[in-house]
Amino acid sequence: MGSAAALPCLLLCVLHLIAGAAARPTYVVMFPYVIYYSHGGKVHIQLKNLDGPVRVTLSLKSSHRVPSVTLEETGDKVLQLDWPLFPNISNPTKEVATVHVSIRGGSLWISRYREVLLKAPDLWTMVQTDRAAYKPGQTVKFRIVHFDEDFIPRDRKVRWGQAAGSAGATWTSIAQWQDVSLRQGIVDLSVPLARDTALGTYTIKAEGKDHTFAVERHWKPRFKVLLQMPSFVMEKDEKIPLHVCGRYSSGTPFQGKAVADLCQFPKYLRFMNESMRCVKLQGQAERNGCFSTQVSLASFNLTSSHYMRWLFAKASLTDSVTG
């Protein structure tokens, strides 16, 4: 079985092509080499130039009882069948089965056998925390996601999981869980850290996947600041939108306070005695990580030749936990 990894690709691309002579009644039967238990199979049958009624029979020889399919056809036909369909299997096993294709009638008398691989779809697991680092006493929020090779969420139980870490030469388990059910392929869990939790690196293990986070005494979360506003302003505009957004390095939305300044400066140095015009804005970021507001343009002079016809903005974010 040294070439087993390459075999499915080769046979999936070539499929199973069984064709008769072009000058006589012809047929094509195609099906994939790998068939997944939950998905079932897809069979393509093309019949052409038949000289009489034919009976097409598909059967599967495996450890699971799958009903055969028999079709009575005449004339030119292109058929798409969802076959084989498997019963509910609690513990699907990987096995090599045999598909038998029989076409009989008129001048056709065909019997062909081909091997196929039956297996459960490969499931992928992803573990993600809401932050990369925490202080002792904070709560680690994390999510476990299951999906298959088609990125379709799959519900199954997380049989066992653990959050543990090492501080020096000591290995400490801070949480364990088992038989956790997922809903739409996702489950949200949390681990409260004790105030005396040892500093160091910790690992969440679930379904063969690992995700690490740090516990540090003096930690500042890393996040990006994004300032959004229109690229130009019309003289007739009364207000303009302004958005200050943040996102942590882990990908989660920012939580905390936003402060922004929107200013208009004098055009020439000789007019510097005329004070620059500024508006200060501040507020809490919403659940999407953004602070959004409308800025009145009445505070600026957009028609005066003494002021630049540009508005300059700056913004800062302050994390609600670490400051």
Instruction: Give 6-64 pLDDT, tens digit per residue.
Output: 334 333 333 334 444 445 888 899 988 888 887 778 899 999 988 889 999 999 998 88
The pLDDT tens digits for 227-269 are: 999 888 887 888 999 999 988 877 788 888 999 999 888 876 5
- Tell whether the model's pLDDT for residue 144 goes beyond 70: yes
Please compute the mean of the pLDDT values over residues 216-225 and round it to a whole number. 74
Instruction: Locate CATH 2.60.40.1930 in the chain.
Output: 7-119, 123-215
According to the model, what pLDDT value does residue 101 have?
A: 94
Tell me the pairing of strands 277-284 and 290-296. unpaired
pLDDT digits over 309-319, tens only? 888 889 998 88
> For residue 64, what are the CA distances in angstroms to 86, 95, 180, 287?
8, 10, 29, 50
Q: What is the pLDDT of residue 45?
A: 92
Fold of 223-319: Immunoglobulin-like (2.60.40)
Residue 18: per-residue pLDDT: 45
Report the alpha-carbon distance of residue 66 to residue 43 in Å, rounded.
Answer: 15
At 167, the pLDDT band (50, 70, 90 cuts) reads low
Return the structure tokens found at 42: 């897809």
Q: How many CA atoms lie within 13 A of 320 on its CB side?
A: 15
One-letter identity of residue 162? Q
Name the residue with higher pLDDT: 298 or 171: 298
pLDDT at 207: 85
The residue count for the chain: 323
Distance CA 58, CA 113 (A): 10
List all residues 6 or more positions away from 231 whose beta carbon is below 8 Å from its beta carbon: none
What is the per-residue pLDDT for 220? 62
pLDDT score at 13? 33
Q: Express each pLDDT in 280-292 by its tens digit.
A: 999 999 989 999 9
Whose structure tokens read 């969420």? 153
What is the pairing mode between strands 108-119 and 69-73? unpaired
Give the per-residue pLDDT at 247.
84
CATH topology of domain 7-119: Immunoglobulin-like (2.60.40)
Quote the pLDDT of residue 7: 35
Burial class (CB in 10 A: 0-12, 13-18, 19+), 211: middle
What are the structure tokens assigned to 51, written together? Answer: 């000289």
How many angstroms separate the CA atoms of 47 and 144, rounded?
Answer: 48
Reference 111, options 18, 15, 11, 17; nearest CA is 18
**In the predicted model, is pLDDT for residue 82 greater than 90?**
no
Residue 271 pLDDT > 70, yes or no?
Answer: no
For residue 86, the model assigns a pLDDT of: 81
Determine the average pLDDT of the residues in 142-159: 82
Q: What CATH architecture applies to the domain 123-215?
A: Sandwich (2.60)
Confidence (pLDDT) at 6: 35
Where are the domain boundaries for CATH 2.60.40.1940 in the chain?
223-319
| pLDDT (tens digit per residue) in 92-129 | 788 999 999 999 998 889 999 999 999 887 788 889 99
On whether the CB atoms of residues 45 and 29 are closer than 8 A, the answer is: yes
What is the phi/psi pair of residue 250, to 5°?
-75, -10
| Model confidence at 160: pLDDT above 90 | no
Q: How far apart are CA 20 and CA 18, in angstroms?
A: 7
Range of weakest confidence among 91-95, 218-222, 223-227, 245-249: 218-222
The DSSP symbol for 298 reads: G
Q: How confident is the model at residue 221 (pLDDT cuts 50, 70, 90)?
A: low
Task: State the pairing for strand pair 170-180/133-134.
Answer: unpaired
Structure tokens at 271: 């007019």
Gap between the Cα atoms of 82 and 67, Å rounded: 12
φ and ψ at 13, to 5 degrees?
Answer: -75, -45
